[in-house]
């Protein structure tokens, strides 16, 4: 539409998407009044690149400050301040022809109608009035936070948090199993029958460590003073007591050439099933976390399956599962939360069919990083700089930004369109990375046992936690983004208090 407007000479006042701030195709967009050709959009001094311009504008428009004032805008445009005395007091009065019903065009002759239509087009039209009473303000996070802080005595702190919102680490639970947790998979939503942090060792011994959502949250339903010295994570009693290890051990043979890592395991959103790959027969398998029994074997690849991933779940627990293999393909599967199987048909659970086949890799699915649609179409490859050739870890935000960790400590941040936005190099051998739910913050951990928090857009370092006595092998966040659970090389699980608001520009004056 913008291109057609430019060709016809009309006024092209259209908001451009981020990728169109640069005229990369060198279209001829005309000349300005001063004779300068129209080309790239000139950005304000506070935006170094188009992505910064979009990101900062979004931060402003989606901020809590704007949310708190949103009802006033509704009152002016659609509400009781649109017309009458309240509109006059609010200086919200326009030309009378702009208002709905001000004139009946059907009763005018052609000449009068044309004049009034031209005037309406020039002045604009006021939308229909929908409300005649003040619109209630939105319950923003800032309002709720003030209410919560008011309900807690300033001299008392929740037991799990040494200070309000203090990010000091505290050990949550110690595992007596000798192998270290190679995967930490957390689903802690309160409505789950078993909110838990599921950990898996390299010997495929898994533990369902129950999560207590009320611990440490004074004022939460079910909170009691008896919980004052308890931690939110409780070690799996079958592992702690060594009484039911047979229900937690996956004994099926894996291919000897497979290096077991966090990508070999996926846990369903209800924590009831664990999916495991790497088996010699080129399958991946589904096990019950309650009994440890095998419930389904899924075939589809021509070589050993080396990695699994899960999408966010729909209502009911349905989600997509992606399996990657040495046959250089990825298969997209559908997990039925109702039937607890791969596939839609419980009568055909022995032979489920993938939803799509994703191709584009020349070798085993390790790199480069490719972007596909869920129907199987290859969109683009995320190609890093010359020294960034072998990706090891990847984390994707809901906004489509991809953080990729390559060998030798190199990180890259890509947009969903494949543009390299930022890069950095670290000295530590990173073993785990993850993004906060809003995609603004990156958390990393590695062999030096230090958790670091970065600003995802430009890799600015925000915080370094005190080092632990063992390297970090895996990590995940609780559903409320307030606790970071890490699996350590010592075989223990360590929980860190974390509050991303600490580094948010709107909340920094609170700390």
Banded model confidence at residue 393, pLDDT cuts 50, 70, 90: very high
Distance CA 209, CA 239 (A): 9
pLDDT value, residue 161:
30
Of 416 and 445, the structure prediction assigns the larger pLDDT to 445
* Mean pLDDT, residues 227-234: 66
Q: Please say whether the beta carbons of 432 and 445 come within 8 A.
A: yes
Q: In the prediction, which pLDDT does 162 show?
A: 30
Report DSSP letters for 260-319, one per residue. --GGGEEE-TTSSEEEE--BTTS-EEEEETTT--EEEEE---SS-EEEEEEPPP-TTS-E
So what's the pLDDT on residue 301?
95
pLDDT in tens, 405-423: 998 889 999 988 888 999 9
Residue 225 lies in a domain: no
pLDDT digits (tens, 9 = 90+) for 278-311: 999 999 999 999 999 999 999 999 999 999 999 9
Please check whether residue 313 lies inside any domain of the structure: yes
Q: Which pLDDT belongs to residue 511? A: 47
For the segment 79-95, the average pLDDT, to the nearest whole number, is 90
Q: Answer whether residue 65 is part of any domain.
A: no
State which of 139-148, 345-354, 408-417, 499-508 shows the largest mean pLDDT: 408-417
Label residue 450 by pLDDT band (50, 70, 90). Answer: very high
Query: Of the residues 315, 334, 366, which one is the last residue of a structural domain?
Result: 366
Q: Please, what is the average pLDDT of the chain?
A: 82
Give the dihedral sign, CA 241/286/308/192. Answer: negative
Q: Which pLDDT does position 361 carry in this prediction?
A: 87
Higher pLDDT, 231 or 236: 236
pLDDT at 19 over 70: no
Q: For residue 34, how many other CB atoms are within 10 A of its CB?
A: 5
The position carrying tokens 């032979």 is: 351
pTM to 2 decimals? Answer: 0.76
Q: What is the pLDDT of residue 455?
A: 92
* 6-10, 126-130, 192-196, 377-381: least confidently modelled range: 6-10
For residue 326, is pLDDT > 80?
A: yes
pLDDT band at 429 (very low <50, low <70, confident <90, very high): confident
Kindly state whether residue 139 falls inside one of the protein's structural domains.
Answer: no
What CATH number should be reported for the domain holding residue 282?
2.130.10.10
> What is the percentage of the chain residues whose pLDDT exceeds 70?
83
Q: What is the pLDDT of residue 163?
A: 32
Average pLDDT of the segment spanning 49-59: 86
Residue span of the structural domain in which 354 resides: 250-366
* Residue 290 within a domain: yes
**pLDDT above 80 (res 250):** yes
Residue 288 lies in a domain: yes
Provide the pLDDT confidence category of residue 508 given band limits of 50, 70 and 90.
low
Distances (CA, A) of 425 to 418, 460, 471: 20, 12, 19
Comparing CA positions, the residue from 299, 291, 294 lying closest to residue 350 is 299
Q: What is the pLDDT of residue 30?
A: 85
* C-beta of residue 50 within 8 angstroms of C-beta of residue 25: no
pLDDT score at 230:
62
Range with the poorest average pLDDT among 31-35, 316-320, 455-459: 31-35
- Predicted local distance difference test score (pLDDT) of residue 166: 42
Q: Answer yes or no: is 414 within a domain.
A: no
Q: Does 501 or 150 have the greater pLDDT score?
A: 501
Find the length of the chain.
511
Give yes or no for residue 378 having a pLDDT over 70.
yes
Most confident of 123-137, 205-219, 236-250: 123-137
Are 395 and 442 contacting, i.e. CB atoms less than 8 angstroms apart? yes
pLDDT at 320: 95
Q: Which pLDDT value is given to residue 22?
A: 82
- Residues 127-183: tens digit of each pLDDT: 889 999 999 887 765 555 555 444 444 333 333 333 333 445 444 444 444 467 888
Whether residue 434 is predicted with pLDDT greater than 50 in this model: the reply is: yes
- Evaluate if residue 225 carries a pLDDT over 70: no
Cis omega (within 30 of 0) for bond into 368: yes
Is the pLDDT higher at 413 or at 401? 413
pLDDT at 215: 52
Task: Tell me if 243 is assigned to some domain.
Answer: no
Q: Which of 336, 366, 396 is the last residue of a domain?
A: 366
> For the chain, how many structural domains are there in total?
2
- Looking at 351, 366, 381, the residue that finishes a domain is 366
Residues near 39 by Cβ (< 8 Å), separated by ≥ 6? 23, 26, 29
Strands 420-425 and 369-372: unpaired
The pair of structure tokens assigned to 365 is 């699915």
CA pair distance 326, 323, nearest whole angstrom: 10
């Amino acid at each position: 539409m913008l291109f057609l407007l430019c060709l016809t000479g009309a006024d092209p006042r259209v908001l451009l998407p981020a990728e169109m701030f640069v005229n990369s195709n060198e279209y001829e967009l005309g000349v300005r009044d001063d004779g300068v050709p129209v080309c790239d959009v000139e950005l304000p001094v506070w935006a170094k690149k188009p992505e910064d311009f979009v990101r900062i504008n979004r931060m402003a428009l989606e901020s809590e400050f704007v949310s708190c004032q949103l009802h006033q805008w509704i009152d002016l445009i659609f509400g009781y301040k649109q017309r009458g005395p309240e509109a006059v007091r609010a200086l919200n009065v326009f030309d009378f022809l702009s208002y709905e019903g001000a004139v009946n065009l059907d009763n005018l002759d052609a000449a009068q109608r044309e004049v009034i239509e031209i005037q309406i087009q020039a002045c604009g039209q006021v939308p229909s009035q929908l409300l005649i009473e003040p619109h209630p303000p939105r319950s923003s996070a800032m309002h709720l936070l003030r209410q919560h802080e008011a309900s807690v005595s300033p001299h008392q702190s929740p037991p799990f948090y040494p200070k309000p919102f203090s990010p000091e680490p505290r050990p949550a639970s110690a595992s007596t199993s000798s192998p270290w947790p190679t995967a930490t998979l957390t689903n802690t939503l309160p409505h789950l029958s078993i909110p838990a942090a599921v950990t898996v060792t390299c010997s495929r011994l898994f533990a369902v460590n129950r999560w207590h959502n009320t611990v440490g949250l004074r004022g939460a339903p079910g909170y009691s003073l008896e919980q004052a010295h308890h931690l939110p994570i409780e070690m799996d009693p079958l592992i702690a007591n060594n009484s039911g290890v047979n229900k937690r051990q996956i004994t099926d043979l894996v291919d000897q050439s497979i290096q077991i890592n966090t990508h070999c395991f996926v846990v369903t959103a209800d924590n009831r099933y664990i999916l495991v790959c790497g088996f010699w027969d080129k399958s991946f398998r589904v096990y019950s976390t309650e009994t440890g029994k095998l419930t389904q074997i899924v075939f589809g690849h021509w070589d050993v399956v080396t990695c699994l991933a899960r999408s966010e779940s729909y209502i009911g627990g349905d989600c997509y599962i992606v399996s990657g293999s040495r046959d250089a393909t990825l298969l997209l599967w559908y997990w039925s939360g109702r039937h607890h199987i791969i596939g839609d048909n419980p009568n055909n659970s022995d032979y489920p069919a993938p939803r799509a086949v994703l191709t584009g890799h020349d070798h085993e699915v390790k790199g480069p990083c490719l972007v596909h649609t869920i129907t199987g179409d290859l969109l683009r490859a995320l190609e890093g700089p010359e020294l960034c050739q072998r990706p090891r870890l990847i984390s994707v935000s809901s906004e489509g930004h991809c953080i990729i960790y390559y060998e030798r400590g190199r990180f890259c941040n890509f947009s969903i369109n494949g543009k390299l936005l930022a890069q950095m190099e670290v000295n530590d051998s990173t073993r785990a990375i993850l993004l906060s739910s809003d995609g603004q913050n990156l958390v990393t951990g590695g062999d030096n046992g230090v958790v670091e928090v970065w600003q995802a857009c430009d890799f600015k370092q925000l915080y370094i936690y005190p080092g632990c006595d063992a390297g970090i092998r895996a990590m995940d966040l609780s559903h409320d983004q307030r606790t970071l659970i890490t699996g350590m090389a010592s075989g223990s699980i360590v929980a860190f208090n974390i509050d991303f608001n600490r580094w948010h520009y709107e909340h920094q004056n609170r700390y």
